[in-house]
Structure 1
């Protein structure tokens, strides 16, 4: 379908229109980098028209602009029911994205001061890089599923966008420097892991082989044409080449590449378009082929006469008045190659009944082990609509049996031994409105930390732009370090994400498998969150579920079966966050009640760590009266977490209870130790907990007061 559409638009839309759009994009990029006035050169350029400190990147713009211009007629002709997305993996293409959104009119819809008129054009050029939009690709520029500038994941994210979407084509623009990253390198072959996983759309990778990174030649550019062909052929991709100088030839190459492109998951070679236009094409001849073209090749044209003359000639070579009218609109001969602005897709309906549905799941799961109830939750979710599980070859190890009756993995679950690919596929899937889960070892999740942080930033900008909420990013972190070897002990992804302070982050620490089932159900129904569910696969201890609703709604609850009733301050407060801490502290609580019946005890379980945050810092942060109701004002407090104790101290911030609080959690032993020794080292064995509790409750009261 896509190849036919390309061939048809190649016949109907003149090459001259596409070339004019490419020139207009180049000019607008250059003007954004250098001009602060006189955006159409309506009068002779003067140094006062030029920015004193040019900022931004020119090098990647020319090849990106040629691709955007070439794809324009296809985007304009996409029939109803089909979608064409462009993802920018190549870094620093912000000027191109802004210029294209301006020419299509989409930018003006999102930012009225950037409409297609003289004032809007002047603001686009003079305001770059605007503080409220920035100079890179973000959701502040309409139509972008992936924040540009982070090299590596774009191809895999593009693959994620077309899973279960046979109506969708995603064109991914990949810098040749980006091809040196591990994530991109893995993405070429990883499509083989998607064979037999359903009906998918098509990805057309476009490698912008412009020859250079920031500081010198890219590795890919050192290959001869024969070596390059062998490289891509060995990866299962049939390369189609174009130098991009002749727009007609580039359009034919795109049609050829689309003709050879296979839907994702179909065995056999697919295509890759290799665009070899030189980096910074169009820059002054004495700068061509040098690292200077990466950013602004002319560093100070406002102050150096020779550079000013070079800039004036460079800008004038595009004949901007032949491309744009005096009112800032594209001239008629550009219009056939420009797609019309399309409305943003409607958002997903707000989820209803999350707590009730999650509690019902927990009721069915009560008393059964993790290995039974969690696969049931995932299978039930898959029956409700588009849903995928991605895991780095760890489903069986994590006791998540998702095999069918023949012992084969169900099509909606994919394993590939690369954590970054699992995240990127899930990111592409959720950014296009579907639900996904990444299931991995707790210790391996930090590999994807940068990707998670970037997606959180992307989602934050989406909210700022007023875009509709999307399905949440959900991680199930199991195979916890408490039951693993030293190399598999690392709960730091939670620490790093909590330190970021994003209000949509939730860290769920359920106490038992039933609560884990409820937590996953809850997390997968919610929108626009990043949720980590931290749960050990070995948990066998179960707790009463009477407070589950409160835990789901508020992230915390007092467990009445272990708490002495009545008003007043208790003698000791025990608080658990996680299944192993709950097992350890409930054992302690039962012993205290048996051997110290006079001791007034309060037991608190923290289902969502963010409930501990300073008042107003996060949605579930306890108000001061609720904080005191749970954690008292004078009583000694023992809080055990499955992660780093520092997470608790950081969350509590200025309302830290001081010396009356003892936080127990994971401490790196620095060497391999038996599991029992690790618990002892961290103070979570029965003997140490008993000693701590009796010491705190036997001490004079004034000692425990901060």
Structure 2
């Protein structure tokens, strides 16, 4: 369909219109970088019209602009029910994205002060980088699923966008420097892992082989044409080449590449378009082909006459008055090559009954092992609509049996041995409105930290732009370090994410498998959150569920079956955060109640670590009276967490109880030790906890365990 559409638009829309759009995009990019007045050169340029400190990036704009212009007629002709997305992987294409959104009118719809009129054009050009919008690609520029400048994951994110979406084409613009990243390198072959996993859309990778990265020649540019063809052929892609100088030939190359493009998951070679236009095309001759074109090739044209003359000639060469009217609108001959503004996607239905549904799951799961109840939750979610599980070859190890009756993997669960690809696929899937889960070893999850942080930044800007909420980013961390080797002990993902302070982050620490099943049900129904579920596959101890509703709603609860009733301050407060800590501390509580019946205990379980945050810092942060109700004002507190103790201290912040709080959690032993020795080293073994509790409550020492 896409190839036929491209060939038809190639016949119907003149190359001259596409070439004019290319020139308009190039001119607007250059003007944004350099001009502080006179945006259409309505009068002779003067040094006073030029920014004294030009900022931004020119180098990637010319090849990006040619692709945006060539795709414009195709975007305009997309029939109802189909979608075409462009993902910018090549870094620093912000001026191109601004210019294109301005010409199509989408920028003015989102930001009325940037509408297509003289004032809007003046603001676009002279205000760059725009206050409150910036100079890079973000969701503040309409239509972008991926924040630009994050090198590496664009191709995999593009693959994620078309999973289970046969109506969708994603064109991914990839810098040749980006091809040096491990995530991009893995993405070419990883498409084979998607064979037989459903009916998917199409990805057209476009490599912008402009020869340079920031500081010098790219590795990919050192390959001659025969080597380049052999390289892409070996990766399972048939390259189609264009230098981008002849717009008609570029449009034909796009149609040819689309004709050879296979829907994702179909065996056999697919296509890649290789655009070899030089970086910073059009820059003055002494600077062309050098790293100087990466940013602003002319560094100080306002003060250096030779640079000013070069800039004036460069700007005038585009004849901007032939491209835009004095009122800032594209001239009529550009319009056939410009897609009309399309509305942003609407809101997903607000989730209802999350707590009730989760409680039902927990009740059904009570007393059953992780390996039974968690896969049940995932299977049930897959029956409700589009849903995907991505895992780095660890489903079986994590006791997540997602096979069918013949023992074959279910098509909606995909494994590939790359945490980055799993995240990027999930990111593309969720950014297009579908739910997904990444399931991985706790120790390997930090590999994706940067990708998670970038997606959270992207989501934060989406909220700032007033865009509709999307399905949550959900991670299940299991195979915890407490039952693993030294090399597989690393709970630092939650530490790093908590330090960022993102208000949508929730770190769920269910106490048992039933609660783990409940929180996954809960997390996979919620919107616009980042939920990290920390649940050990080995946990076998179950706890009463009478406080589950409170745990789900508020992130924390006092467990009455282990708490002495009545008002007043207890003698000791035990607080668990996680399943292993709950097992250890409930055992301690039961022993204290048996051997020290006069000791007044309060038992608290922290279901969501963010409930501990300073008041007002996070949605579930306890108010001062609730904090005192749970943690008292005088009693000693033993708090055990499955993560780093520093997480707890940092969250509590300025209302830290001081020396009456003892936090126990993972400490790196520095060498391989047994599981028993690790617990002992961290103070979470039974004798160590008993000694601590008796010491804090001034009870007699030395009583046999």
TM-score (ref. length: structure 1) = 0.99
Give yes or no for the alignment of 1:59 onto 2:59. yes
Q: How far did residue 659 of structure 1 move?
A: 0.4
Instruction: Give the match for residue 108 of structure 1.
Output: 108
Q: Are 1:385 and 2:385 an aligned pair?
A: yes
Partner of 1:703: none
Structure 1 equivalent of residue 216 of structure 2: 216
SS at match of 1:286: coil
Matched length: 700
Residue correspondence of structure 1 range 7-18 to structure 2 within 5 A: 7-18=7-18
Question: Per the alignment, in what secondary structure is the counterpart of residue 136 of structure 1?
Answer: coil
Distance across 1 between alignment mates of 2:281 and 2:325? 25
Are 1:652 and 2:660 an aligned pair?
Answer: no
**Residues 658-703 of structure 1 deviation map (CA, whole Å, 9 limit, x = unaligned):** 0000000000000000000000000000000000000000189xxx
Question: Structure 1, unaligned stretches of length 5 or more?
Answer: 701-706
Paired residue for 2:444?
Answer: 444
**Residue in 1 that maps onto 2:321:** 321
Q: How does 1:662-701 map to 2 (within 5 A)?
A: 662-698=662-698
Measured in 2, the distance between the counterparts of 1:342 and 1:228 equals: 37
SS at match of 1:528: coil
Runs of 4+ in structure 1 deviating by more than 4 angstroms, as ranges, are none
Matches within 5 A, 1:509-548: 509-548=509-548
Aligned to 1:163: 163
- Aligned partners of 1:466 and 1:256: how far apart in 2? 39
In the other structure, the counterpart of 2:632 is 632
Match of 1:397 in 2: 397
Q: Write the deviation string for residues 443-462 of structure 1: whole angstroms up to 9, x where unpaired.
A: 00000000000000000000
In structure 2, C-alpha distance between the alignment counterparts of 1:131 and 1:104, rounded to whole Å: 21
User: How far apart are the structure 2 equivalents of 1:130 and 1:598?
Assistant: 67
| Matching of residue 177 in structure 1 with residue 173 in structure 2 | no
State the match for 2:703 in structure 1.
Answer: none
The residue correspondences of 1:118-267 to structure 2 (distance < 5 A) are: 118-267=118-267
1:481 alignment partner in structure 2 = 481
In the other structure, the counterpart of 1:344 is 344
Does residue 1:29 correspond to 2:29, yes or no? yes
The residue aligned with 1:571 is 571
Residues of 1 paired with 2:535 and 2:622: CA distance? Answer: 23
CA RMSD of aligned residues (A): 0.6
Task: Provide Cα deviations, 1:230-278, integer angstroms capped at 9, x if missing partner.
Answer: 0000000000000000000000000000000000000000000000000
Distance in 1 between residues matched to 2:146 and 2:343, nearest whole Å: 18
Match of 1:704 in 2: none
User: How many angstroms does 1:130 deviate by?
Assistant: 1.6
Q: Which residue of 2 aligns with 1:606?
A: 606
Quote the Cα distance in structure 2 between the aligned partners of 1:405 and 1:569. Answer: 55
Query: Hey, what's the Cα distance between the residues in 2 that align with 1:131 and 1:335?
Result: 29
TM superposition shift of 1:347 = 1.1
Query: How many angstroms apart in 1 are the aligned matches of 2:212 and 2:569?
Result: 68
- In the alignment, is residue 434 of structure 1 matched against residue 434 of structure 2? yes
TM-score, normalisation: structure 2: 0.99
1:370 aligned residue? 370
Partner Cα separation in structure 1 for residue 598 and residue 345 of structure 2: 62
Tell me how far apart the structure 2 counterparts of residues 542 and 49 of structure 1 sit (CA, whole Å): 72
Partner of 2:406: 406
Q: Deviations over 1:491-514 (max 9, x none)?
A: 000000000000000000000000
Task: Report the secondary structure of 1:690's partner residue.
Answer: helix
Q: How far did residue 301 of structure 1 move?
A: 0.3
Give 1:345 deviation, angstroms: 1.0
Q: Residues 264-311 of structure 1, C-alpha deviation per residue, up to 9 Å, x if partnerless?
A: 000000000000000000000110110000000000000111000000
CA shift, 1:131, in A, is 2.8
Q: Residue 533 of structure 1: CA displacement?
A: 0.1
CA distance in 1, matches of 2:565, 2:395: 43
Secondary structure of the corresponding residue to residue 698 of structure 1: coil
Residue of structure 1 in register with 2:469 after alignment: 469
Alignment of 1:285-364 (within 5 A): 285-364=285-364
Q: What residue number does 1:85 align with?
A: 85
Paired with 1:408 and 1:298, the residues of 2 have a C-alpha distance of 60
The offset of 1:181, in angstroms, is 0.1
Deviations 1:88-119 (A, max 9, x none): 00000000000000000000000000000000
Query: What secondary structure does 1:287 align onto?
Result: coil
Asked if 1:38 is matched to 2:35, the reply is no
TM superposition shift of 1:227 = 0.1
Give the match's secondary structure for 1:300.
coil
- For 2:351 and 2:421, how far apart are their aligned partners in 1? 28
Alpha-carbon deviations, 1:342-391, whole Å to 9, x = none?
A: 11111101100000000000010000000000000000000000000000
- CA deviations on 1:175-198 (whole Å, 9 max, x unpaired) are 000000000000000000000000
3-state SS, counterpart of residue 286 of structure 2: helix
Structure-2 separation of matches of 1:640 and 1:487: 22
Q: Secondary structure at the match of 1:214?
A: coil
2: CA distance, partners of 1:569 / 1:362: 32
Between the aligned partners of 2:131 and 2:542, the Cα distance in structure 1 is 52
- The separation in 2 between residues aligned to 1:483 and 1:579, in whole angstroms, is 12
Alpha-carbon deviations, 1:399-422, whole Å to 9, x = none?
A: 000000111100000000000000
What's the counterpart of residue 642 of structure 1?
642
**Equivalent residue number for residue 6 of structure 1:** 6
Provide the rounded CA distance (Å) in 2 between the counterparts of 1:547 and 1:437. 26
SS in 1 for 2:84: strand
* 1:175-233 superposed Cα distances (whole Å, 9 cap, x missing partner): 00000000000000000000000000000000000000000000000000000000000
Determine if the alignment matches structure 1 residue 504 to structure 2 residue 526. Answer: no
Give the distance between the partners of 2:444 and 2:558, measured in 1 at CA: 33
1:527 and 1:657 map into 2 onto residues whose CA distance is: 34
Q: Which runs of 5+ in 2 are unaligned?
A: 701-705
CA distance in 1, matches of 2:218, 2:365: 54
> The residue matched to 2:109 in structure 1 has which SS?
helix
